[in-house]
Amino acid sequence: MQKIKKGDDVVVITGKDKGRRGTVSQVLAGKLIVEGINIAKKHTKGDPNSGTAGGIVEKEMPIDTSNVALWNARAKDGKGGADRVGIKFIGEGENRKKVRFFKSNQEVLDA
């Protein structure tokens, strides 16, 4: 089970976008694409056959998983903040289920 999944709210903890928040739009091997984070300008060549224009396009680039943390809205006296994530099992026998939880307040993410 991955600690960060598509649709999670994350905050960047290091790098040029430190402190910015966004939603994970895609999960790659060890990297994430987060909406509005790690924007790079890519120079693209036009293609008259398909009708695409050339020019400079802003594109979201992957950011390493270690550079982001999950956003916990209830952390730090209700103000919210970055939080670490753990994995534990809930239930017994056939009802046993693997879930993610915030380390600071033990709150389960996906029950």
Reported confidence tier of residue 111, pLDDT bands at 50, 70, 90: low
Domain annotation for the chain: domains and CATH numbers? 9-102 (2.30.30.30)
The contacts of residue 60 (CB under 8 Å, 6+ apart) are: 25, 33, 34, 35, 36, 37, 38, 39
Q: Is the pLDDT score of 97 beyond 80?
A: yes
pLDDT at 77: 72
Structure pTM?
A: 0.80
Residue-wise pLDDT tens digits, 7-47: 999 999 999 999 999 999 999 999 999 999 999 999 999 99
Q: Is the pLDDT score of 88 beyond 70?
A: yes
